[in-house]
C-alpha cells in the first residue's frame, strides 16, 4: 500500500536482518502510530531472534489509551536503553528533535528512519520514508510484506492502532487503505474495542475542560488569505489532571468550524506553547509549521513556541499569509 522505493525497502530489510541488537525509538508525546509501529517492529524482530528495546523520551509513562497494545514488554525506560547496538530505528519521527533526549542515540550509530511525514529531515544514515502512506504502521505493513513477515493478530493490532488513528477513523484515506484495514481485521482483532480505547474514551473531567477551552475559541476570518483561522487555547489551569489524550482531542472539535480553513490549538507546556495545526483542503500547514520551527503533514502539523499566547497567535497569522 505504500510507494517507498524498492531499493529503500531492500536496504531496510537487510539492515534489520543483519542486526543482532536493535533500539527502536518513538517520538516524544507518543501517539498510537509511533507506539504501534515501535511495538510491531519489536514483536517481529523478537520473533526473528533479535534483541530489541523500544523507548520514547517523554513522558515517563505510556499513555493509558495504549497500554492494551501487544508488545509493551519491549518498552524500556530512556535511561535503561542500551547505548551500543547494531542498529537504531526511529518510527514516525519527522526530525531528530522529535526524539527528545534520546536523539543522542543516533550519534555514531547506524540508523534507519521509518516514517511518513513529508517534512522528514532525513536525519538518519538510512531512510524508509513514504509521504503518501496513511501512517507509519502502513509503511511497516509494506515492509513486513516485502520481508515475508506473517502479520498475525498481535502485529495486526499494533498496525491497526496507527492506521485508525492517523486516518482519523478512516476519514483521510486513499485507494488501498481499506484493503490494508481488511487484511488486519481478518486476523480477528477487535477493531471496535481498539478504536474506542484509542479515540473514544475520556474521563468525565474532559467535558468541563472542553466547556472552558471551547468557550475561549476565536475566529479570525481574514487570516490565511481570508479562508479563516479558528483557534483555542488550552491553559494549564484548564487541564487539571487530565491526560494527553484529552488535550489532543480538542483540535478535532475545533477543526470542524465551517468558517475556517485552518484550525489551531495552543497547548501550554513547561516552556511555552505546543501548537497543533489542521487544515481542510487548500492550505498546506506542513509548510506553515516548518516555517515556525516544526513540521508535519499537509493537513496536520505542529510546532512549539515560547512567549505570550497573543504573540504566538499573531506570529501564526503572519505565517499563514
Chain contacts with Mn ion (rule: CB under 5 A): 33, 92, 136, 166
Kindly state the cell numbers that stand for 210.
472542553
Our CB check for Mn ion shows the closer of 16 and 301 to be 301
Question: Using omega within 30 degrees of 0 as the cis cutoff, is the peptide bond preceding 109 cis?
Answer: no
Min separation Cβ 297 and Mn ion, Å: 8
| Separation between Cα atoms, residue 250 and residue 259, nearest integer Å | 17
Contacts of 180 (CB under 8 A, 6+ apart): 1, 134, 138, 141, 159, 163
Min separation Cβ 116 and Mn ion, Å: 6
Our CB check for Mn ion shows the closer of 112 and 223 to be 112
Asked if 232 and 210 count as a contact pair (C-beta separation under 8 A), the reply is no
Our CB check for Mn ion shows the closer of 33 and 245 to be 33
Min separation Cβ 33 and Mn ion, Å: 3
Our CB check for Mn ion shows the closer of 155 and 233 to be 155
Nearest residue (beta carbon) to Mn ion: 33
Min separation Cβ 84 and Mn ion, Å: 29
Our CB check for Mn ion shows the closer of 166 and 246 to be 166
Min separation Cβ 136 and Mn ion, Å: 5
Kindly state the cell numbers that stand for 297.
503533514
Taking each helix axis from N to C terminus, what angle separates 153-166 and 32-47, rounded to the nearest 10 degrees? 160
Q: Give one DSSP letter per residue of 227-283, joined into a string.
A: T-EEEEEE-HHHHTT--HHHHHHHHHHHTT-TT-SEEEEEEE-SSSEEEEEEE-SS-
Amino acid at each position: 500500500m505504500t510507494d517507498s522505493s524498492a531499493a529503500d525497502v531492500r536496504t531496510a530489510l537487510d539492515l534489520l536482518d543483519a542486526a543482532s541488537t536493535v533500539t527502536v525509538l518513538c517520538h516524544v508525546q507518543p501517539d498510537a502510530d509511533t507506539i504501534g509501529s515501535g511495538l510491531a517492529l519489536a514483536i517481529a524482530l523478537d520473533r526473528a531472534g533479535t534483541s530489541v528495546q523500544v523507548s520514547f523520551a517523554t513522558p515517563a509513562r505510556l499513555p493509558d489509551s495504549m497500554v492494551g497494545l501487544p508488545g509493551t514488554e519491549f518498552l524500556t525506560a530512556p535511561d535503561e536503553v542500551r547505548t551500543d547496538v547494531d542498529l537504531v530505528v526511529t518510527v514516525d519521527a519527522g526530525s531528530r528533535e522529535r526524539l527528545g533526549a534520546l536523539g543522542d542515540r543516533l550519534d555514531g550509530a547506524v540508523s534507519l528512519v521509518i516514517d511518513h511525514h513529508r517534512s522528514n529531515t532525513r536525519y538518519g544514515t538510512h531512510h524508509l520514508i513514504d509521504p503518501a502512506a496513511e501512517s507509519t504502521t502502513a509503511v511497516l505493513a509494506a515492509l513486513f510484506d516485502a520481508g515475508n513477515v506473517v502479520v498475525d493478530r498481535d502485529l495486526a493490532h499494533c498496525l491497526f492502532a496507527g492506521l485508525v488513528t492517523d486516518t482519523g477513523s478512516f476519514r483521510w484515506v486513499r485507494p488501498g487503505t481499506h484493503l490494508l484495514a481488511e487484511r488486519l481485521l481478518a486476523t480477528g482483532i477487535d477493531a471496535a474495542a481498539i478504536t474506542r480505547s484509542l479515540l473514544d474514551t475520556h474521563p468525565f473531567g474532559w467535558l468541563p475542560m472542553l466547556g472552558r477551552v471551547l468557550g475561549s475559541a476565536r475566529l479570525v476570518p481574514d487570516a490565511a488569505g481570508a479562508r479563516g483561522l479558528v483557534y483555542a487555547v488550552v491553559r494549564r489551569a484548564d487541564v487539571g489532571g487530565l491526560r494527553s489524550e484529552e488535550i489532543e482531542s480538542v483540535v478535532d472539535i475545533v477543526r470542524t468550524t465551517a468558517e475556517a480553513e485552518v484550525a489551531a490549538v495552543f497547548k501550554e507546556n513547561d516552556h511555552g506553547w505546543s501548537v497543533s495545526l489542521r487544515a481542510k483542503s487548500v492550505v498546506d500547514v506542513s509548510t506553515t509549521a516548518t516555517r515556525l520551527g516544526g513540521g508535519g503533514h499537509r493537513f496536520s502539523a505542529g510546532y512549539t513556541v515560547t512567549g505570550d499566547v497573543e504573540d504566538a497567535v499573531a506570529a501564526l497569522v503572519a505565517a499563514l499569509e
